[in-house]
């Protein structure tokens, strides 16, 4: 057969040049190790955006001008009483000054009671008077503070820069993604660390609490959490090592698979700087996954090798034999993994695409380390009699276990298993259909609800009238549109319409502000709080609003309508977005377009739609690839069914689990579902491959399966359990998305393993043609 010729050729090449190849692996690993030292953590805002999405085009066009997504808000809260104390004002002034000098802060956009852009106006007999809220001659005396209190009320900044109950004050600052001076990209993690060090640590006292929120802070906190993630990986690694040792009963046979898998990880991470990538907090799971897949395959190789040695083979022959047995299934399994990883590229979000590329590179590395390096290393291993005794002992201990599982291939239990599987299938289809896209909980979804960030966010949203969930609709019109009554009034009607949509907390836009200002020009009378039809009055009303308010652009042709939402649950976002779309369909204007969307909720809306659009194609391609590869290897539809049906069931159950645990389908969890299929197919392919090879020797199914279990099944159960225990530790991660991934991966590893050793043989029992039990050997 042609395939055998290729295997023979490769076997000759590999085992004929062992020192040469070892040298190659050593040098490559050293080079990659050097490259790895260049690796840095890299978290950018743009990377997390689905840039191709319609909404994000709006974001790119207008994001710079209207920004807002990159705001940092620092609230100083008096622990007792209110803010009108000398001590509080002194602290607020110093903190404001310090914020000015944090690198990346746009100094023109800093506002607090102490910045000159915060002014009050009041109606007096002969017009409008105004001044700075904290006057230049301010002294923190009782009179001075009383004057500031009055100015605060006149300035209408209660709820924005001062807490509604006067228990705190806010410093708001905008961060620039590109430093205008140096042209360098802002280091969010650094900025976040500076905020901690210069602001929180400096000003937090027994009288004043400091709360900080904003995207930079989120990224910083994720990065902090990510450092602890490394600890979780270490724990997972140690657990794996101990379990591998318990499994192999040999130090050398423990070290070899771990070393091979680590080599793959080093190569994968080393490739990142070469490709110009950093490692993103979201992508941290990839190295671990590579390690896990590596161990999983290595254990198969070790198990096969041990079986050969026990059967009496010389060490080099044993290595060659296991290489021959596993080259094809190993390659097919890893190719399926690679395809699984590559399909997540369909999500047009840079961080995901980087993850897809680096993960496929990692799997490619495993093909080399586990199918080439590992057999070579094994061929050098000399195992003593004591090792053989230990292995024999283990085999004896496990025999009854395998006898038990072997029943899955007997007709009656097989029918029961398939019956249970059908019930689970129905359950999965029922619950899985309920899975929600996007986030379902309060606060920043990457962090836990009780994380400091989300607590800070809670304090700030409770005491200030500030929504943290913002969807901005960008209204584009002609130049000077904001002084045209018809245009302004159309925009105003839109804003009011959106205000009435359930889930909307408040709407802020230029027309609303212009009305208030026009009323101000008319002695503050509420009866004049309208948009004036008279153009010069409109000019007067709008002219008062600076472009720095982010409510209009310089030629007044673009006005964002800021829709603050009550939360960012997918259903809330969907409802609001649908309302915007239906409104603009029902009210078409020639010269006005309402464009979705910027703001953090705008980003979520785009991301949700992207995830929702990608989820079915991803599963389609993953399963398509798995089916194709299995068919190419086994040339049998029945074989494909035996392998793929359990995978399908597990995917469906994973959806049901997400629905039950209220884990949304989002950027961090969608890849897990795709990757889970990749991991699961390994088990199926290895088991089926050996099962068929045993069947072709003429064994009846039950016997063939018993033999399969003792070798391959052993490895599958072991790796499934080991990897599940490893990732289960993630559930305790400070990062919500990692915890979610941990839950899902644990589930995937375990249930895929069960699917492969229970459902696969049951299906084989019903689907495969039977070998006669007492068929004589030819």
Partner 1 sequence: MCPRSKTSHHIVALTCLLILIMVPITAGADNNSVAARLAPEALLLGAARAGEDLIVVGERGHLLRSTDLGKSWQQIIVPTQATLTAITFIDPQHGWAVGHDLTILKTTDGGQNWHLVHQDIDEQPPLLSVFFLDINRGFALGAYGTFLETDDGGRTWEQRWISEDDFHLNAIAAVGDHLFIAAEAGIVYRSDDQGETFIELTPDYSGSFFGILPLKDTSLLLFGLRGHLFRSDNLGENWRQLPTDTEAGLTTGLQLKDGTSLIAGLSGTLLVSKDHGQSYSVRQDPDRKGFSKLLETADGGVLAVGDFGVTLLPQSLLR
Residues that bind partner 1 (CB under 8 A): 122-125, 153, 158, 493, 496-497, 499-500, 502, 523-530, 533-534, 586
Minimum distance of partner 1 from residue 504's CB (angstroms)? 9
Burial of residue 7 (number of CB atoms within 10 Å: 0-12, 13-18, 19+): middle
Nearest-approach distance from CB 108 to partner 1, in angstroms: 30
HSE-CB for 212 with a 13 A CA cutoff? 25
What's the distance, CA 381 to chain centroid? 41
Letter string b/e over residues 186-215, b meaning 16 or more CB atoms within 10 A of that residue's CB:
bbbbebbebbbeebbeebeeeebbbbbbbb
Name the minimum Å distance from CB 53 to partner 1: 23
Q: How far is the CB of 82 from partner 1 (least distance, A)?
A: 13
**Of 577 and 744, which CB lies nearer to partner 1 in the complex structure?**
577
Q: Could you give the CA distance from residue 477 to residue 488 in angstroms, rounded to a whole number?
A: 10
Which stretches of 587-713 are DSSP H helices? 599-634, 637-660, 670-696, 701-708
Locus of tokens 């047009």:
348
Q: Is there a contact between 487 and 481 (Cβ–Cβ < 8 Å)?
A: yes
Running DSSP on this structure, what letter comes out for residue 772?
P
Smallest distance from partner 1 to CB 605, Å: 18
Q: Among residues 211 and 515, whose Cβ is nearest to partner 1?
A: 515
Q: Cβ neighbours of residue 150 under 8 Å, at least 6 residues apart?
A: none
Nearer to partner 1, 94 or 522 (CB): 522
Nearest to 625 by CA among 240, 335, 368, 324: 335
Q: Which is nearer to partner 1, 469 or 574 (CB)?
A: 574
Residue pair 14/21 in contact (Cβ under 8 Å)? The answer is yes
CB of 222 to partner 1, least distance (A): 35
Contacts of 560 (CB under 8 A, 6+ apart): 62, 66, 68, 472, 473, 474, 475, 509, 550, 551, 598
Q: Which residue has the tokens 């910027």?
A: 598
Which residue, 439 or 492, has its beta carbon nearer to partner 1?
492
Taking the least distance from each CB to partner 1, the nearer of 51 and 158 is: 158
Which CB atom, from 202 or from 540, has the smaller least distance to partner 1?
Answer: 540
In eight-state DSSP terms, residue 667 is: T
522 vs 557, which CB is nearer to partner 1?
Answer: 522
CB of 527 to partner 1, least distance (A): 4
Q: Are 432 and 659 in contact (CB under 8 A)?
A: yes
Closest by CA to 102, choosing from 226, 219, 217, 204, is 217
Q: Do residues 123 and 520 make contact, with C-beta atoms less than 8 angstroms apart?
A: yes
The Cα 728–Cα 719 span in angstroms is 14
Q: Which residue's CB is nearer to partner 1, number 523 or number 555? A: 523
Output 30 or 578, the one with its CB closest to partner 1.
578
DSSP 284: G
């Amino acid at each position: 057969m042609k395939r055998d010729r290729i295997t023979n050729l490769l076997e000759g090449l590999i085992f004929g040049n062992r020192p040469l190849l070892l040298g190659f692996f050593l040098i490559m690993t050293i080079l990659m190790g050097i490259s790895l030292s260049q690796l840095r953590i890299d978290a950018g805002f743009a990377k997390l955006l689905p840039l191709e999405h319609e909404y994000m085009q709006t974001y790119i066009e207008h994001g710079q001008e209207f920004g807002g997504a990159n705001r940092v808000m620092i609230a100083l809260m008096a622990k007792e009483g209110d803010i009108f104390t000398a001590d509080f004002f002194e602290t607020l002034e110093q903190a404001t000054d310090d914020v000015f000098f944090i690198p990346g802060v746009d100094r023109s956009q800093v506002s607090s009671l102490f910045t000159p852009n915060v002014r009050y106006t009041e109606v007096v007999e002969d017009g409008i008077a105004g001044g700075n809220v904290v006057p230049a001659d301010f002294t923190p005396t009782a009179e001075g503070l009383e004057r500031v209190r009055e100015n605060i009320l006149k300035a209408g900044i209660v709820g924005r820069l001062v807490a509604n109950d006067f228990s705190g004050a806010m410093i708001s600052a905008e961060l620039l993604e590109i430093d205008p001076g140096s042209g360098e990209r802002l280091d969010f993690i650094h900025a976040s660390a500076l905020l901690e060090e210069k602001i929180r640590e400096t000003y937090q006292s027994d009288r004043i609490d400091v709360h900080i929120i904003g995207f930079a802070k989120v990224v910083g906190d994720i990065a902090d959490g990510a450092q602890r993630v490394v600890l979780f990986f270490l724990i997972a690694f140690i657990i794996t090592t101990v379990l591998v040792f318990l499994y192999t009963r040999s130090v050398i046979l423990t070290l070899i698979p771990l070393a091979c898998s680590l080599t793959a990880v080093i190569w994968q991470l080393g490739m990142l700087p070469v490709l110009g990538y950093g490692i993103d907090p979201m992508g941290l799971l990839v190295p671990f996954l590579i390690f896990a897949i590596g161990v999983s395959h290595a254990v198969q190789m070790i198990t096969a090798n041990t079986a050969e040695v026990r059967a009496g083979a010389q060490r080099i022959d044993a290595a060659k034999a296991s290489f021959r047995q596993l080259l094809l299934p190993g390659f097919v399994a890893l190719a399926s993994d690679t395809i699984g990883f590559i399909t997540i590229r369909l999500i047009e979000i840079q961080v995901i695409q980087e993850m897809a590329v680096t993960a496929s590179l990692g799997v490619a590395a495993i093909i080399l380390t586990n199918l080439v390096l590992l057999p070579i290393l094994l061929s050098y291993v000399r195992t003593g009699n004591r090792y053989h005794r230990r292995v024999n002992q283990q085999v004896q201990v496990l025999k009854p276990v395998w006898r038990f599982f072997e029943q899955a291939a007997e007709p009656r239990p097989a029918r029961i298993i398939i019956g249970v599987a059908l019930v689970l299938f129905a359950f999965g289809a029922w619950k899985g259909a309920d899975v929600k896209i996007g986030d379902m909980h309060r606060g920043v979804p990457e962090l836990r609800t009780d994380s400091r960030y989300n607590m800070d966010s809670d304090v700030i949203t409770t005491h200030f009238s500030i929504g943290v969930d913002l969807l901005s609709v960008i209204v584009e019109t002609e130049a000077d549109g904001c002084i045209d009554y018809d245009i302004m009034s159309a925009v105003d009607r839109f804003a009011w319409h959106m205000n009435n949509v359930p889930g909307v907390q408040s709407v802020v836009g230029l027309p609303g502000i212009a009305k208030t200002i026009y009323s101000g020009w008319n002695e503050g009378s509420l009866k004049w709080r309208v948009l004036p039809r008279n153009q010069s009055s409109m000019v007067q009303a709008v002219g008062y609003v600076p472009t720095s308010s982010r409510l209009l652009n310089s030629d007044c042709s673009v006005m964002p309508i800021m829709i603050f939402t009550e939360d960012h649950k997918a259903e809330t976002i969907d409802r609001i977005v649908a309302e915007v779309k239906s409104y603009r369909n029902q009210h078409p204007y020639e010269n006005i377009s309402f464009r979705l969307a910027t703001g953090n909720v705008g980003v979520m809306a785009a991301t949700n739609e992207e995830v929702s659009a990608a989820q079915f194609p991803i599963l389609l391609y993953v399963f398509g690839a798995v089916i194709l590869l299995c068919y190419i290897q086994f040339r049998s539809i029945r074989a494909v069914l035996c392998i793929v049906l359990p995978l399908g069931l597990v995917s469906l159950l994973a959806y049901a689990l997400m629905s039950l645990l209220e884990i949304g389908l989002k950027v961090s969890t969608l890849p897990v579902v795709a990757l889970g299929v990749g991991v699961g197919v390994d088990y199926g392919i290895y088991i089926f491959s050996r099962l068929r090879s045993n069947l072709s020797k003429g064994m009846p199914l039950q016997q063939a399966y018993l033999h399969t279990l003792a070798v391959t099944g052993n490895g599958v159960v072991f790796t499934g359990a080991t990897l599940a225990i490893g990732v289960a530790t993630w559930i305790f991660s400070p990062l919500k998305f990692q915890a979610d991934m941990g839950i899902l991966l644990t589930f995937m590893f375990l249930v895929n393993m069960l699917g492969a050793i229970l459902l696969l043989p049951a299906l084989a029992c019903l689907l495969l043609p039977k070998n006669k039990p007492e068929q004589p050997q030819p």
